[in-house]
Structure 1
Amino acid sequence: MRSQNVDRKSGMNMEIRKKKFLEMSSTARINAMRASSPTHIKSHPLALHHNVQQPSALDMFEQITNASKGKQIVMFMDYDGTLSPIVDDPDRAFMSDAMRATVRKLATCFPTAIVTGRCRDKVYSFVRLAELYYAGSHGMDIKGPSKNSKGGEAILFQPATQYLPIINEVYKALLVVTKDTPGATVENNKFCLSVHFRRVHENKWAELAKQVGSVLEAYPEFRLTQGRKVFEIRPTIKWDKGKALEFLLESLGYANCADVYPIYIGDDRTDEDAFKVLREMGQGSGILVSKIPKDTNASYLLQEPSEVMAFLRRLVDWKRLSLRKQFMLKSRLEGVKMSLPI
């Protein structure tokens, strides 16, 4: 009963937020869209890591690894803006070969998952690494390798399957109302939808927001949120990237475990749900990817995907060095035992 009440209250709050956005004036809408979608910045005080509360994850690398000693690191990463640069065309958000090679090495050292708002199949087509765990549609479509690190079968979890027919209906309606807005793109991410406006002229933003809102007024079972030049439409079920992180940890055998150290790296508002979970757990590290100051539940910062790659490479090198030291220590101990008289 309590769970039902929480879900009902959460759904009501989401609906109130959606209504507030739809009732905004055109000027207020544009200001909100600008605030969540900053333009490219060549230089910013954050580059020196002085004007924000969170320090650089690269500068604090030893602090992070010291906190993880004796624990199993599990890696979680967003895709767009984290492993690949933000681009105008979402269908061309390709990760570099260097980043792919880095993530492949990372997965040999730690269980590694990509948690994204994208369709799981789409992000897999970008990454092409079968050894990873993939949580698409903001964690509503989860699948792991055919054999996971614990020797079990592939994880497959889809908590919003009953919404598929309505999602397709909303998708078609959004295609109709946005077709005359140059640059607008509607992306079907299977269990959620995205309306991208990165290529839409700013004087059309308010009109586009109104068009999206007009469709969603007829679908109270969906919530509307905004990311980096994108509207996100999701079912109002109590599920998000934070829940996906918890589900994957449990599936890997680390539920309520003190010997695990999750690291989550992401750049979007939706990643805050995962950062918040880590704060509440009191374990692991949330790392925000951003060039500008933001309110965040993350503990550390990285500026862009190139810094993410540098951080991941340092993690791999640190893990391999740790394993080498352990092997050498074990060999010495065995040598000492063999030299002792019987």
Structure 2
Amino acid sequence: MPAHDWATAAAAGYRAGRPLTLLFDYDGTLTPIAALPALAVLPPATRDALAGLAALPRAAVGVVSGRSLDSVRELVGLPGLRYAGSGGMHISFGAEEAIDPALAEFDAIADALLTALSSPVKSFPGTWVERKPGCLSVHYRQLTPPRAAGFVEEAREALAELAPDCPPLRVRAVTQALEVALAGAWTKGDAVDRLAGVDALVVFAGDGANDEEAVAAVNARGGLTVGVGPEAPAAVRLRVADQNEFVAGLHRLAASLCGAAVVGRPHPGGVVTPRVIHQGAR
């Protein structure tokens, strides 16, 4: 099997009788990285492929994103899928949700973090801070690489100055941004553990550093991990060159398992509002 042909491996596992759980990152995996997050719109054909796969018996599909849960659910627009937002801290499965208590803890210090970051953001036009439940995304996707390096250094220094007065932070580079959350907050790996299902062949695909824990969780289950592009975690078992190649594989998988019926399949609009049933301990 070619190293990139994750779709063939997933189809073979499903045809052998295993339940199949497909969990994908959104930005950089299902859609290209856009100049602004709001411009990363899911193509209708990709939505149809996801809907077709989710409708299969013994199959589940989920999107695990650094975006807020409400944002990713709205962008995907398929209420029947499983979702995780805020990098795994807010998880939705059916009519139920799991919420990391770190969301509320982080919100209590978010204003101080925003104030600290205001100086580097002002010094580097084209950067901005996106506030989400439980985390911040510090975007620099509009900068050239040399200016991006300078901005990241100043942003990290600004956050480090807060260390004596706030809880420990997890600050890491993701695709063209810094992700800021509380150290010990749930990750995409925690989301995988809650969304994977029992005895399923789990497939996860992602493109950045904040996918590392999800990759580790799926590898530990003996699943398939797919790295999308050059910045994907080193531990992935299969790789594709870019987002276009990944989506081509997704369409091959849908065509293989769903047939022509997936093309133009109607899908429901709107978003289900789940009830919160669990707030796990950190």
TM-score range, shorter-chain basis?
Answer: 0.7 to 0.9
From the superposition, tell whether residues 171 and 112 of structure 1 become closer, same or farther in structure 2 (CA, over 3 Å).
Answer: farther
Q: In the alignment, which of 57, 63, 68 is matched to residue 5 of structure 2?
A: 57
Counterparts of 2:211 and 2:22, CA distance in 1? 14
Letter aligned with residue 231 of structure 1: L
Compute the displacement of 1:176 (Å). Answer: 4.7
Shift of 1:311: 2.1
Cα distance, 1:264 vs structure 2: 0.4
Aligned residues: 251
Change (3 A) 1:101 1:203: same
SS at match of 2:179: strand
Choose the corresponding residue for 2:248, options 310, 322, 326. 310
Q: Please tell me whether the aligned partners of residues 69 and 85 of structure 2 are also in contact (alpha carbons under 8 angstroms).
A: yes
Which of 128, 144, 156 does residue 77 from structure 2 map onto? 128
Note if contact 1:57-1:287 (Cα within 8 Å) is conserved in structure 2.
no
SS of equivalent to 2:123: coil
Aligned partners of 2:231, 2:156: CA distance in 1, in Å?
29
The letter for the 2-side match of 1:55 is A
TM-score where L is the length of structure 1: 0.67
For the residues of structure 2 that align with 1:122 and 1:175, how far apart are their CA atoms? 24
CA distance in 2, matches of 1:222, 1:133: 28
Q: For 1:178 and 1:156, locate their aligned partners in 2 and report how far apart those are by CA, in whole Å.
A: 33
What are the within-5 Å matches in structure 2 for residues 176-187 of structure 1?
176-187=119-130
Instruction: Give, as a single letter, the amino acid of the residue that structure 2 aligns with 1:80.
Output: D
Could you say which residue in structure 2 is the equivalent of 1:210? 153
Corresponding residue SS for 2:110: helix
**Residues 271-310 of structure 1 mapped to structure 2, 5 A cutoff:** 271-281=211-221, 283-290=222-229, 292=230, 296-310=234-248
Q: How much does 1:280 deviate?
A: 2.1
SS of equivalent to 1:155: strand
**Partners of 1:86 and 1:272 in 2: how far apart?**
18
User: Following TM superposition, by how much is the alpha carbon of 1:295 offset from its aligned partner in structure 2, in angstroms?
Assistant: 6.2
CA distance in 2, matches of 1:297, 1:228: 17
Greater strand proportion: 2
8 Å Cα contact 1:85/1:95 also seen in 2: no
Q: Structure 1's 97 and 317: CA in aligned 2 closer, same or farther, altered over 3 A?
A: closer
- Over the aligned positions, Cα root-mean-square deviation in angstroms equals 2.4
Q: Is 1:319 matched with 2:263? A: no
Partner of 2:107: 164
Partner of 2:269: none
Identity of aligned residues (%): 27
Aligned pairs (5 A) from 1:135-174: 135-146=84-95, 154-160=96-102, 161-174=104-117
For structure 2, list consecutive stretches of 5 or more residues without a partner in the other structure: 260-282
- From 207, 216, 231, give the equivalent of 1:267: 207
Q: Secondary structure at the match of 1:55?
A: coil
TM-score normalised according to structure 2 size: 0.80
Q: Distance in 2 between matches of 1:90 and 1:239?
A: 23
How far 1:65 sits from its partner (Å)? Answer: 3.0
| Residue among 22, 43, 48 paired with 1:75 | 22
Report what 1:101 is aligned to. Answer: 48
Which runs of 5 or more structure 1 residues have no equivalent in the other structure?
1-48, 147-153, 322-342
Q: CA deviation at 1:155?
A: 2.6
**Larger Cα-atom Rg:** 1
